[in-house]
Structure 1
Amino acid sequence: MTTGSSLLDISTAGGMLMLPIGLCSLALCMFVFERAMSLRKGRVIPRPFVKRFVSQMQAGELSRGEATRLCKENKSPVASVCSAAVRKWGQPAQVIEAAIADEGERVGNRLRRYIRMFNGISTITPLLGLLGTVIGMIRAFNAIVTTGAMGKPELLAAGISQALITTAAGLCVAIPALIAYLYFTSRVDRLLMEMDTIGQKMVDSISLEARKRSEKRRVVKQPAKRAA
């Protein structure tokens, strides 16, 4: 194999196992692009929606119906979590927290879609490469027996070189796949933590205890206005 060998030549020299490794590489590129688009922070946690929704909820400017409508209109993952909290409007804090946790788990499962594929690709491709190398080494040593290549080191070296191509190809796919897995897993965890923080603000705004405190403040303010 010459220094100027093309990628196609190298792939062909690697044997049939280069095909599944190539398919894994293609799948990796597709899933990385899909997850990169789907896990954009602006798509998962739209800042304008969160800022407006949380501030209005904390100020008591939204009714249950208005809050539900805003969540349905936004349709983002964080809006889904907020909607789960709104459905428990006026109930004890523990009930709302449980609803947020349940919806957060469902949202997390959707956000983690395809991420396991990265882990699978990073595990499978080195094994495919190793299998290709083993097969190539078997062929190389068979060549020694059948053609007497022991006295021709260039023939033996060529066979071993071709055998190692699949291992190199498998690692070239596995390493980026593992990096993608770690990156997107960490990204999902950060997004879920931020959604949990937003959910806690919802609990503090719409729970039974919060509504009671709000009503008490209004009752105290009304006599003060009359006295004035």
Structure 2
Amino acid sequence: MSEMLAETWELWRAGGSLMIPLALLGGVIYFAIFELYLHMRKNSFYRIDPNQLGHWIDMPKDADGEVGEMIDFTQNGVNDSNGARARFEELRSAHLPTLERRIHFCNVLVGAAPLTGLLGTVIGMLGTFFGLSVSSGGNTIDLVAGGISEALITTQTGLVLAIPAYVLISVVRRQMGELDQFFTRMEILTILKLEKVESGR
């Protein structure tokens, strides 16, 4: 364990000063993504069984929880399909734009990681060329190796931060798509119910 920590520390030092901003950026990226992921998992009302959802829409008194509140909001005082569509538009506006903004923020952060690594590459190559220009004898190899090492480590770190984060963001996007489908399913079932009531009059 101590050897692994020592190797990690040496790798960290070889990456240069940009490793600190990369570490901070990585912490912010994964905090934001996991917080959003856990928010979607906690509010997983959209994964309700479709048969149960259909029953609750037909019999709103049986509905409970957050889905019950949504059904009450979309049906109470609504007499036609246009009114139902307006209520569902409000429901979507209360949930989806906020999630979309948070996902966009996560995308911006993740996109900054490889760019920060690329900046480290540029700094490392500049250090390499500077070492070639001012050194002589045995020092040249050490300076060149140090510059190239810094260039490669920061790039690798930026990619290691970004690639898993993009995968996690795609998972959250899929959850958001399920939420949108849930609202669409609710809207269709509610409009069908209202149309049956209207045709029965």
The bucket for the TM-score relative to the shorter chain is 0.7 to 0.9
> 1:54 — aligned with what?
54
Q: 1:79 Cα deviation (Å)?
A: 4.7
Does the alignment pair 1:195 with 2:196? no
CA distance in 2, matches of 1:149, 1:172: 36
CA distance in 2, matches of 1:149, 1:102: 73
Does the alignment pair 1:142 with 2:152? no
> 1:211 — aligned with what?
197
Q: 1:51 Cα deviation (Å)?
A: 5.0
Consecutive unaligned residues in structure 1, runs of 5 or more: 217-228
Q: 1:201 Cα deviation (Å)?
A: 0.7
Q: 1:80 Cα deviation (Å)?
A: 5.4
Q: 1:26 Cα deviation (Å)?
A: 1.2
CA RMSD of aligned residues (A): 2.9
CA distance in 2, matches of 1:150, 1:178: 43
Q: 1:169 Cα deviation (Å)?
A: 0.7
For residues 77-97 of structure 1, give each alpha carbon's deviation from its aligned partner in whole angstroms, at most 9, with x where no partner exists.
x455434312442x2212211
TM-score by length of 1: 0.73
Taking only the aligned residue pairs, the percentage that are identical comes to: 24
Structure-to-structure mapping, 1:76-91, within 5 angstroms: 78-79=67-68, 81-89=70-78, 91=79
Structure-to-structure mapping, 1:127-206, within 5 angstroms: 127-148=115-136, 152-205=140-193
Name whichever of 141-150 and 7-16 sits farther off: 141-150
* SS of residue in 1 equivalent to 2:17: coil
Structure-to-structure mapping, 1:6-155, within 5 angstroms: 6-40=7-41, 43-45=44-46, 47=48, 52=52, 54-58=54-58, 61-62=59-60, 66=61, 70=63, 74-75=65-66, 78-79=67-68, 81-89=70-78, 91-112=79-100, 114-148=102-136, 152-155=140-143
* SS of residue in 1 equivalent to 2:44: helix
**Larger helix share, 1 or 2:** 2
Q: 1:151 Cα deviation (Å)?
A: 7.8
Q: 1:14 to 1:114 in 2, by over 3 A?
A: same
CA distance in 1, matches of 2:19, 2:184: 44
> 1:224 — aligned with what?
none
CA distance in 2, matches of 1:161, 1:201: 61
CA distance in 2, matches of 1:80, 1:112: 23
Letter paired with 1:54: G
The alignment of Structure 1 onto Structure 2 pairs a total of residues equal to 198
Consecutive unaligned residues in structure 2, runs of 5 or more: none
Q: 1:161 Cα deviation (Å)?
A: 1.3
CA distance in 2, matches of 1:157, 1:149: 14
